[in-house]
């Protein structure tokens, strides 16, 4: 009887939850989206390295020099044809934010609204977890997902330089290009959280956050394709932090241009926190 009682007493002690249960649950919910983004970054990066010798026969500068193609890629010009140039065009042009930023925006948009929709947010808040802590842990989980995407991107570039002949990178500008991506991805996370804090349907909030990325891409495309529509390019995040162009031209876009999407993203996230604290999630 003594042994049995001790076992019953010790059992609850083994059921300890992690220090950050909301963060862990959010990472688990988003792992498919983040994992898919990381997989395709690796696939595209390695594919560019594999076909690089064949691509050197193509005059990529003439294609990007075409206003329509340059507008679609968000690239103004290519000063030279190197592995870094091809990688920047194929992976780090506007396509990066459109694809992988879109994935992160959807994950952010659905993060809170999904829990409101299925009622699991009541269970989360029934524990000694405040709304503020829940929101901040969601935000932290998305930042970890963002770091995973960028970390895989950096690792893929490094692996390319190891296994493919002629694949060289100027690491200073490669890293500065990724710093620009940090600014852009912080923007989409903050905007996604704002939509999620105000919505009660995960797919709707995720779709709305992704639509911001798509509309920004279209504004950049049409704004750079026509002088009459040039004002449009200032409406999207692509104009302010052109990661691919930084890698190609080896020129910093500008501190203020870097800070604008970063600041908007942080501000949107904080506004989302206020909205979430004030809204009635039972309605």
Count of positions (residues) in the chain: 283
Looking at per-residue pLDDT, the higher value among 74 and 2 belongs to 74
9-58 confidence digits (pLDDT tens): 444 444 445 678 889 989 998 999 999 999 999 999 999 989 888 777 67
Instruction: Examine the pLDDT at 1 and tell me if it is beyond 60.
Output: no
Structure tokens at 223: 């704004």
pTM of the model: 0.86
Query: Can you give the pLDDT at residue 283?
Result: 55
Query: Can you give the pLDDT at residue 33?
Result: 92
Query: Can you give the pLDDT at residue 175?
Result: 95
> Please, which pLDDT band fits residue 259 given cuts at 50, 70 and 90?
very high
Looking at per-residue pLDDT, the higher value among 76 and 108 belongs to 108
217-228 confidence digits (pLDDT tens): 888 888 877 778
Buried b (16+ CB within 10 A) or exposed e, 189-201: bbbbbbbbbbbbe
Structure tokens at 234: 């200032």
């Amino acid at each position: 009887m003594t042994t049995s009682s001790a076992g019953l007493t010790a059992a609850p002690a083994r059921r300890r939850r992690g220090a950050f249960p909301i963060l862990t649950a959010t990472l688990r919910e988003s792992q498919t989206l983040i994992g898919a983004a990381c997989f395709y970054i690796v696939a595209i990066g390695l594919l560019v390295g594999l076909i690089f010798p064949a691509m050197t026969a193509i005059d990529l500068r003439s294609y990007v020099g075409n206003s329509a193609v340059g507008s679609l890629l968000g690239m103004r010009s290519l000063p030279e044809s190197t592995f870094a140039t091809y990688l920047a065009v194929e992976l780090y042009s506007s396509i990066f934010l459109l694809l992988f930023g879109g994935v992160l925006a959807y994950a952010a948009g659905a993060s809170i609204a999904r829990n409101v929709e299925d009622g699991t947010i009541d269970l989360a808040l029934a524990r000694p977890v405040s709304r503020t802590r829940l929101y901040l842990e969601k935000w932290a989980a998305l930042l970890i997902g963002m770091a995973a995407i960028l970390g895989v991107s950096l690792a893929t570039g490094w692996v390319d330089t190891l296994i493919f002949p002629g694949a060289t990178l100027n690491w200073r500008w490669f890293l500065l290009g990724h710093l620009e991506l940090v600014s852009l991805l912080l923007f989409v996370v903050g905007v996604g959280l704002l939509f999620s804090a105000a919505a009660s349907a995960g797919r709707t909030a995720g779709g709305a956050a992704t639509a911001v990325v798509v509309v920004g891409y279209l504004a950049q495309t049409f704004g750079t394709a026509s002088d009459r529509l040039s004002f449009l390019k200032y409406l999207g995040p692509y104009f302010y932090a052109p990661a691919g162009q930084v890698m190609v031209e080896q020129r910093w876009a500008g501190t203020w241009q870097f800070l604008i999407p970063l600041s908007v993203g942080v501000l949107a996230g904080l506004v989302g926190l206020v909205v979430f604290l004030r809204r009635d999630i039972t309605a």
